[in-house]
Chains A and B, each alone.
Chain A
Amino acid sequence: MKIDREKLHSPFVEQVERVSGEVFANCYQCGNCTGGCPVSFAMDYGPSQIIRLLQLGQEQLVATANSMWLCVGCLQCYSRCPKGVSAASILEALRQMTLRKGEDHEDVGGLPFPFLKDAPQQAIISGFRKFVS
């Protein structure tokens, strides 16, 4: 992994900071967020690792990780963070930035009919809001 000034302060990193309202340097990598996260077991990178990769300016790894899509926004991470950093806000920002580019995470047309029929309406609506631009 090559690190340089341009990567550390890349437009992508600065945009995530702006959208989420969080400053990555505030995180001292204690790991409390990952420890408390109910879905981190399924993530490519836990919330603290995502923040670490953002600190290191690794846009590619962050953008392709499944972490942002698995986050349910329960704010467990934020309530535990000793530095007051909200990993949930950062993952939300990553989601929003990806969706704004028109890159849907779910192909609605491809969803099987029995699923759409059986799933609660609320789940479908919030799923559209979370995964589709």
Chain B
Amino acid sequence: MSRIGVFVCQCGNNIASTVNTKKVADEMAKIPGVVYTGDYKFMCSSPGQEMLKEVVKEHKLDGVIVSACSPHMHEKTFRKACESAGLNPFRCEITNIREQCSWVHHDKTKEVGTIKSIDLTRMTIERLKRNRPLEKINIPIKKKALVIGGGIAGIQAALDIAEGGREVVLVEKEPSIGGNMARLSETFPTMDCSQCILTPKMVEAELHENITIHTWSEIERVDGYIGNFTVQIRKKAKYVNEDLCTGCGECIEKCPFKADSEFEMALNKRKVIYTPFPQSVPNIPVIDASNCPKIQKDKCGACAIVCGPKAIDFKQEDRIITEEIGAIVVATGYELMPNTRFGEYGYGRIKDVISGLQFERLASSSGPTGGEIRRPSDGEIPESVVFIQCVGSRDEKKGVAYCSKICCMYSAKHTMLYRHKVHDGQAYVFYMDIRSGGKRYDEFVRRAIEHDGAMYLRGRVSRVYERGGKTIVQGADTLSGTQVEIEADMVVLATAIVARSGADQLAQRLGIGYDKYSFYNEYHPKLRPVETVTAGIFLAGTCVGPMDIPESVSMGSAAAAKVLSLFSADEMAREPITAFVNEPICNACWDCLNACPYSAIESKGVKDRKGNIVRWIANVNDGVCQGCGVCVAACRSKCIDLKGYTDEQVYAAINAF
């Protein structure tokens, strides 16, 4: 027979006002196996916990029930108290008689609340009687982190983890780290030069002894679980031997072929063997195979001829490298929605309609115009520039419903950059709302309007068209309630920020959640913003949603802190509430494998006496399982059960009702 103690909490008046706690305690005393009952004002207070400990020892209890608030609040508290009294913590269960009982019933006679509390507590008692003591699961941790994405968020995460003394593998799919931030000219609201603050960090990452950078590389496959991931990385062929290349740039100089520069957003050409920009890290060029005549048709090969250290290797192939990883930080960043979706703004049709990132390149001193604002069509300096906000953002029908968050700020910055470079130029901004929340952000926008003369018009642009060699912007100024027409020399579209193409496939490979826009889901948007539902995988930067540089950097550092705290111990203790398989009954239908949202189900071979595998069955990986119970519901042969919530326990609880 069990020796169970039941403690009913009054929670001040929270419970006691609609539940007769004394009566609940007395009723419970009648149940076989219950040897102690009592009610108390605040069970979670120090005296309450002390009382619980003393009763456990005095009555030699083998099980404890606390009927109080939601287990989310104090389950840990009471389990800890039981543990210190010598009881297995998983022999302590909570009955929720507050959130789902006393708070929802207003019967001041206490009748309803009391009956319900008695029922709920009795059910927990029956469940507890069938509880087995569980031991925490210890899993070993490999102390090496993987950072996916070498933008500012990824660089920051990698640097912080490396500074914490742990090894980091940084994977970037472009030929250089730096991400979108490397493209920017100046950054709001302080107007410091983007490259001037970014490149030192890039170099620091390159030189850091704890960081290994793989550029021109992608994640091929991820297996395993927290502390024990096995990651396969595809190192795409650069056709340049990284060990031999000195970065002299002779090959780039001599290459006679050109293609559109991805880094310059197609505003300029680059060579077919190239580094994206002069400060590239690593400073090793790659050959764009699809445009290289040597690789396509075996003609040319000029780069190989001039290369002193003989680093060019046209025969190079993709390589797969395998890394053993303990934690992963995903920082894959953003790209802009294709402007071609918005025909009314003339993008692609009118040459002088460009995107915000293209304007960044025009304003950048290392850009195609050397920092002079010159329009793409004829290289003239534009006398008036119209900036259009919310292109694709906040547009449920044709674009995305969300706000891209940074456009208000960068458009204000663009008007200032333009005014600083073209003193008599006039900037116009069509906006719906100015969203400038942030430290010194609204002041910045007001500066653009009050000091740098940007003309802000509240309303959307309905169309941009050409008339007599001029670009006409037609929109509304809802503040004056009129239609507005402006002759523009150049139009800049603040296009919506979207997740990287392929972000959803990567999420599937990693087993993390994403929303309908392919932005990655946080575990909890407020309280666990850098964690994913998959333990050991963390998030940083704009792969989560639109955000600015300070936020991305903060998230990178936050993810790094999570990784470092995970790496601070050799082993990690996990709650043992996991599923387990009754092996003889499993018929390997794999419904559980398809149902599991965490990829915790794996196949296990059953061997005969000679060691030959005779059949395959499902096995639950304790390290990955989160104890959600979906597999239990899916299992047709009823061979999977959840520790602490076995079918036997649940049926016993229901029968007690």
Contacts A23-B450, A29-B458, A56-B477 given; does A1 touch B384 at CB 8 Å:
no
A53 touches B383 (CB 8 A): no
Q: Which of A23, A26, A52 contacts B479 (CB 8 A)?
A: A52
Could you list some 28 contacts between A and B, CB below 8 A? Answer: A1-B477, A1-B482, A1-B484, A1-B485, A2-B485, A2-B486, A3-B455, A3-B457, A3-B485, A4-B384, A4-B487, A5-B383, A5-B426, A8-B426, A23-B450, A25-B449, A25-B450, A25-B453, A26-B450, A28-B449, A29-B458, A49-B479, A49-B480, A52-B477, A52-B480, A56-B455, A56-B477, A58-B480
Contacts of A28 in B (CB 8 A): 446, 449
A53 touches B455 (CB 8 A): no
B479 touches A3 (CB 8 A): no
A76 at interface by CB-CB < 8 Å: no
Contacts of B483 in A (CB 8 A): 1
Q: Which of A2, A5, A23 has the most CB of B within 10 A?
A: A5
Contacts of B485 in A (CB 8 A): 1-3
Chain A, 47-84, contact with B by CB distance < 8 Å: what is the 0/1 string?
00100110110100000000000000000000000000
Binding site for A on B (CB under 8 A): 383-384, 426, 428, 446, 449-450, 453, 455, 457-458, 477, 479-480, 482-487
Contacts A23-B450, A25-B453, A29-B458 given; does A4 touch B477 at CB 8 Å:
no
Contacts of B486 in A (CB 8 A): 2-4
How far is B485's CA from A8's CA once the two chains are assembled, in angstroms?
13
Instruction: Report whether over half of chain B's contact residues are helix, strand or loop; otherwise say mixed.
Output: strand
Contacts of B446 in A (CB 8 A): 28
Interface positions of A from 26 to 59, Cβ below 8 Å from B: 26, 28-29, 49, 52-53, 55-56, 58
Contacts of B480 in A (CB 8 A): 1, 49, 52-53, 56, 58
How far is B472's CA from A4's CA once the two chains are assembled, in angstroms?
11
Contacts of B450 in A (CB 8 A): 23, 25-26
| Nearest B residue (CB) for A26 | B450
Contacts of A23 in B (CB 8 A): 450
Contacts of B426 in A (CB 8 A): 4-5, 8
How far is B457's CA from A8's CA once the two chains are assembled, in angstroms?
13
**Additional A-B contacts beyond A26-B450, A28-B449, A53-B480 (13; CB < 8 A):** A1-B477, A1-B483, A1-B484, A3-B485, A4-B487, A5-B384, A5-B426, A8-B426, A23-B450, A25-B453, A28-B446, A55-B455, A56-B480
Contacts of A53 in B (CB 8 A): 480
CB of A61, distance to nearest CB on chain B (Å)? 9
| Nearest A residue (CB) for B425 | A5
Contacts of B457 in A (CB 8 A): 3
How far is B455's CA from A129's CA once the two chains are assembled, in angstroms?
36
Q: Which of B383, B450, B487 has the most CB of A within 10 A?
A: B450
CB of B94, distance to nearest CB on chain A (Å)? 52
Contacts of B479 in A (CB 8 A): 29, 49, 52
| Nearest B residue (CB) for A4 | B487
| Nearest B residue (CB) for A58 | B480
CB of B465, distance to nearest CB on chain A (Å)? 15
Contacts of A26 in B (CB 8 A): 450
The 6 closest A-B pairs by CB, nearest first: A5-B426, A1-B482, A25-B450, A52-B480, A52-B479, A2-B485
| Nearest A residue (CB) for B424 | A5
How far is B653's CA from A54's CA once the two chains are assembled, in angstroms?
75
How far is B480's CA from A52's CA once the two chains are assembled, in angstroms?
7
